[in-house]
Every structure is written in C-alpha cells, then in structure tokens.
Structure 1
Amino acid sequence: MEETSLAGKIALITGAACGIGKATALLFAKLGARLVLVDLREADLNATAIECNGISKTPVLSIVADITDDHMVQVIHQKTLDHFGGLDILDTALMSYCVSKAGLDMFTQCAALQLATKGVRVNSIHPGSTNTPILLHSGYSEKKNKDFLEAIKAKHPIGRYAEPIEMARAIAFLASPAASFITATLIPVDGGFTAKCE
C-alpha cells in the first residue's frame, strides 16, 4: 500500500461543491477514501459526487447542509455514522473563513494535545491565495479584477496563486499514513507569502 493511500478511510469534506473542497474530494477519491461530501449548493455537490464516483468505485454520501447550523452538524454526524459506521478524516474547509487564524491555530494545537492519546491527529493548513470562485469573482469590474489578480500574484514569492489541487495534496498528505507522526502542526501552503512577513 502506498504511504499516501487513504483506502478504506472515511473522510468528511465540507465545501465539496467547488474550489479546494472539490479538489480535496477528487483527490481523496483517487486515494481510495470513502467520502461524505457536504455543501449548500446541491447541483454542484451532486456533480462533485458523480466525478468522485467516476474516479473510484468507493462509496460517496452527499449531504446538502449548512454547517453553521448546529442541528445540521448533528444531522451530518448521524448520517455519516448510519451510512459508514464511523469517521476517520474531517476536513472543515470553511473554518479558515469563519474563525480568525490565531483562533484556528490555537484550536488545532489544543485539540491535537487533547486527542493525541486517542490516536487522533489534528493539523491545519494555511492556504495562500487560491484559484477558486471566491478569488476569481471578487465583485470588481473586469479590469479592476484583472489588476487585483496580478497584485495577488506579485505578493507571492512563487509569482502566482495556487491551484485547488495544491491545497488538496497538502490535506491528503496530512490525512495519510505518511504523516503518522505529525500532529498539532500548522502548515502554510502559500507560495512563500508568510515568509515575506508583510
């Protein structure tokens, strides 16, 4: 078995309809994970599920839900348990947008310390600017949007913004056996932006 194989693992991925969440779902399907895909946009979510089924014959459970609703989080949890009997990997893509980075960092480290004795690893990626609908459709005029995208590229030492698959690869690595001794870690996947200290 490859070190990055997720064969048989049950992975719940939020924001799976597009962007980083979709790229993560597609990569996890390729790596053999059984998937629980969650998003508000039903048509796009179903399209992602169909693509995942085309990549791998592993089961996919799609749940249309708002993860900011506590009741829906409980529904997602119960549906996951009913369908798969457990959960191995939780990718909450939305957290980086809903919680301040410092709060998320502290949550990651505290949760990792609390759960380490139970064999649970908790890590976080810090995505740089990524080619997703949020970045590409910023609400500016076409010219202003083009200028905005060029400015974003210039801020990254690597000279470009990331593709969603680059975030998905980092997430897959952290979820895989190859990262079995990594926990409480915060990994910038930002093309060197953090190192610039701007």
Structure 2
Amino acid sequence: MTDNSTPFAGQHVVVTGGSSGIGRAAALIFARQGAETVFITGRDAERLKEAATLHPNLVPVVADVATAEGADAVEAAVAAGPGVVDVLVHNAGITKKTPIGRVNMADVMTVLGTNLIGPLLLTDRLLARLRTPGASIVFVTSVEGHRPPPFGSSVYAASKAGGEAFTRAWAVELGEKGIRVNAVAPGVTRTDAAVRAGFSPADAQLALEIFSQATVAGRPGEPEEVASWITRLAEPGSAYVTGQVISVDGGIELAGLPMKRPMKPRP
C-alpha cells in the first residue's frame, strides 16, 4: 500500500510532449511521487535530453507520436524496459492558425495528426501493455474543445473536441478492462507552445496578456497547476472517476473569451 506522498510508487508512465511545458511538469510530479519509470516523448532530442536531467526516473524517447513510426518507438521503449504501462498521458499538441478562406492543408494535417491521430495510434499500439485492471489514460485537451475559440483556431478546437470525444467513448469501451480515461482542459497557460508553433515571442506574449485578462483569476495558469490535475486524475485515489473532462482555466469559461474584432451583423 502506497502512502499519500507516493501514490505512483512502482508505476510506469508515458507522457507525450514531455520535454517542456505541461508535459514536463506532469512527468516531474509522477517521478517525484514515486513512479519508477516516466517515459517522456518528443521530436527534439536535445530538449528531451535536457528535460531528462531533471530527475533520474525520466527516460527520453525521441518519437513523433503523430506517426506510426513514433508509436512504434514508444512501444519499443516500453517493451525494452518495464513492459507495462500504468499511466498514459496524451499531452503532445500543436496549434496553427487555420482561418476559413485561407486554409493551408499542410497545417491542418499537422494539427490533426499530432492532436487527434497521434493519441489514437499510440493508445492502439500500447493497449496490450496497459495494466489491466488499473491503468489510467489522461488527455490534455483545451477549453477551446468545448467552447467557441478565437478566430482562426477552428481546426485546433476540432482536434481538442475530438480528444474529449475519445475520452468519453474510451471510458466506456475500455471500462470493461478496468482502464480509466479522463481529460484535463487547460485555459490560457504560460508555455512556449505558441512560439514553437510559429508565433513571434511578442505576439505570443500579447496573446497571453489579452486572454489572461478574460479569466476570473486575472492571470495565466502555470504548467504545474495543470499538471497537478493530470496526476490527480491518474492516481489510485481517483479510481471512481472516469469519462470526465476537468477544466483548469482560471474561470475563463465563466468570464467569457474576448473576441479579436466585433461580429458583423447579418444583412
């Protein structure tokens, strides 16, 4: 029996997109709370190597989880190590502007591949290695997955809505195996995701400030604040929780998201 400070003692965890931001914060909490192995995935070997120095139980796996080859790489790492997964966190994500009327299909496929197809491929590949009963899957979606997004973000929103649909459908489908599936939906959070998606640092900072003003909290969330809910949903103490999407958004859904420009009246 584990104590309250080490709820993941002896467990094995996979966190996609674990080299920075919310994923790295979650991986560190898992490791500090007893997880024996925490695989962190990403496409940038140097960023992964740097993140892995933060705790001896973090194991970097270079993999693009939007591809079948990436899913194979993660499965191979698990097979060569513990052979079993107790917690699978689908955190890897990307955003790109995809305004209707100026849609770039390469950007669309990048967003859908990473945010939606990737979790499907990896879950399918690791299903036989998920501990049954007892395993937990946690999606990191977005409040944009269930409320109107800013202009130009419809594809990103659709990909996150798809993650929420997977959460509910798999909670039912995998429930008979004793596998729980939940999601955390962050609001505006202080990460470098926007810059890595191609936004200038100045534009990313401006967006962070604008959206922060729309929260009840009056500030952006920190990666650790979102990560704490990821681990909370995965821990054994949450064994009666499945199929849920928890918004960690500083109250932005209550305050309302500001629009970039006023809506034009219909003719």
Structure 1 105/141 Cα, relative in aligned 2: closer, same or farther at 3 Å? closer
TM-score (structure 2 length as normaliser): 0.66
**Residue 23 (structure 1) aligned to one of 17, 20, 25:** 25
In structure 2, the partner of 1:105 is 164
Kindly indicate whether the alpha-carbon contact (under 8 Å) linking 2:190 and 2:208 is maintained by their aligned counterparts in 1: no
Aligned-pair identity (%): 30
What is the distance in 1 between the residues matched to 2:253 and 2:54? Answer: 34
In structure 1, the partner of 2:177 is 118
SS of residue paired to 1:84: coil
What is the distance in 2 between the residues matched to 1:4 and 1:195? Answer: 34
**How much is the aligned-residue C-alpha RMSD, in angstroms?**
2.1
SS of residue paired to 1:52: coil
- Structure 2: state its 5+ residue gaps: 96-114, 117-158, 258-267
**Residue 16 (structure 2) aligned to one of 7, 10, 14:** 14
- Number of equivalenced pairs: 192
What is the distance in 2 between the residues matched to 1:162 and 1:135? Answer: 15
- Structure 1: state its 5+ residue gaps: 54-58
Decide which moves more: 147-156 or 121-130: 147-156
Amino acid at match of 1:14: T
In structure 2, the partner of 1:161 is 220
Q: How big is the shift at 1:161?
A: 0.5
In structure 2, the partner of 1:5 is 7
Kindly indicate whether the alpha-carbon contact (under 8 Å) linking 2:194 and 2:204 is maintained by their aligned counterparts in 1: no
Computing the radius of gyration over CA atoms, which structure comes out larger, 1 or 2? 2
Q: How big is the shift at 1:3?
A: 7.0
Structure 1 193/86 Cα, relative in aligned 2: closer, same or farther at 3 Å? same
In structure 2, the partner of 1:66 is 64
SS of residue paired to 2:208: helix
**Residue 87 (structure 2) aligned to one of 77, 86, 89:** 89
Structure with the higher fraction of residues in helix conformation: 1
What is the distance in 2 between the residues matched to 1:115 and 1:90? Answer: 13
Structure 1 140/79 Cα, relative in aligned 2: closer, same or farther at 3 Å? closer
TM-score (structure 1 length as normaliser): 0.88
What is the distance in 1 between the residues matched to 2:46 and 2:62? Answer: 10
Segments of 4+ moved more than 3 angstroms:
135-138, 144-147
Amino acid at match of 1:30: R
